[in-house]
Amino acid sequence: MTDQNGHDRRRIALIASKGTLDGAYPPLILATTAASLGWEAGIFFTFFGLDIIKEDRFEKLKVASLGNPAGPVHFMPNLLGALPGATAGATAIMKKWMSDANIPTVPEFIDIAQELGVRFFACSTTMGVMGVEEKDLIKGADIAGAAAFLDFAGDADVQLFI
Amino acid sequence: MTNHTTTDPRFDYDLDCSGLLCPLPVYKASLALRELAPGEVLQLVTTDPGAIEDIPALARQVGDTLLGFERRENDQIFWIEKGNRS
């Protein structure tokens, strides 16, 4: 079956730009779902989104307690989100919600995505700017610039910036 | 969606995704369907309200056929026949 763009499978190209817990889930959920539907899927991890595929960071992604009026501690004045421990508290609540709802953790989702063949692009500019080396990344991520991602995204049926 | 509600279709594999939210029912159903031979039927039980739209979408996207759908209390039950694909 060939689609209107002349390739055999539908394709989704995502940009993950946020290094927060709530920023990590949408691209991982969309990519794993797309792969489950038989689509090709790829995620370009850029700027703080690169934390999602950094070995020392991806288990420690957090939820913002300040400037996040919809966050898990919305019952408190948002200003209190600046207090020490507020981010950790918001993150702990969010993680409990996710775990109670049987949602896989970010590292588990990354495993699922990789098993399904989702391509991970690590933004080389971000790596240069933030001093990230290849050994800091999870295995199986391709270091790439914007052109390589656009080469993949240009043939995609769905492109989203998250 | 079809309107088969008389008797349960015969099925070859049973997958219970009760209590699981998107994307897990679609993910697990897609893995289960991969293991079936063309013509075999998966019975899938879900509780995620999103699955009512998601599972027919999965069947359309992968080229399988939704034979039937039924609600029983909190459960949604789908029968999917694997199409002629690898």
For A76-93, how does the pLDDT look when each residue is reduced to its tens digit (9 = 90+)? 778 888 888 889 999 999
| Nearest-neighbour CA in chain B from A108: distance (Å) | 12
Number of domains into which chain B is organized: 1
Which range marks the domain in which residue A52 is found? 1-59+105-162
Q: pLDDT tens digit string along A131-145?
A: 999 999 999 999 999
* pLDDT for residue B51: 97
Q: Which residues contact A10 (CB under 8 A, 6 or more apart)?
A: A3, A34, A37, A38, A39, A40, A157, A158, B61
* pLDDT for residue B1: 46
Is B59 part of a structural domain of the chain?
Answer: yes
| CATH number for the domain harbouring residue B59 | 3.30.110.40
Is B82 part of a structural domain of the chain?
Answer: yes
* pLDDT for residue A29: 97
| CATH number for the domain harbouring residue A26 | 3.40.1260.10
B17 in catalytic set: no
State the pTM of this model.
0.89
* Chain A residues lying within 8 Å of B27, measured CB to CB: 32-33, 36, 112, 116
Q: pLDDT tens digit string along B48-70?
A: 999 999 999 999 999 999 999 99
Q: pLDDT tens digit string along A30-39?
A: 999 999 999 9
How would you list the strands of the sheet with B13-17, edge to edge?
B13-17, B41-46, B75-81, B65-72
* pLDDT for residue A74: 76
Per the CB < 8 A criterion, the answer to whether A32 and A60 are in contact is no
Q: Which ranges constitute the DSSP H helices of A37-132?
A: 86-100, 106-115, 124-130
Model confidence band, residue A1 (pLDDT cutoffs 50, 70, 90): very low
Per the CB < 8 A criterion, the answer to whether A21 and A101 are in contact is no
Number of domains into which chain A is organized: 2
Predicted-complex ipTM score: 0.86
Q: Annotated catalytic residue: which of B4, B16, B20, B22? A: B22
Is B58 part of a structural domain of the chain?
Answer: yes
Q: Do B24 and A1 touch (CB under 8 A)?
A: no
Considering the domain architecture, whether residues A2 and A34 belong to the same structural domain is answered as yes
Q: Which residue from B19, B26, B61 is facing A102, i.e. has the nearest CB? A: B19
Considering the domain architecture, whether residues A78 and A109 belong to the same structural domain is answered as no
Which range marks the domain in which residue B31 is found? 23-41+53-86
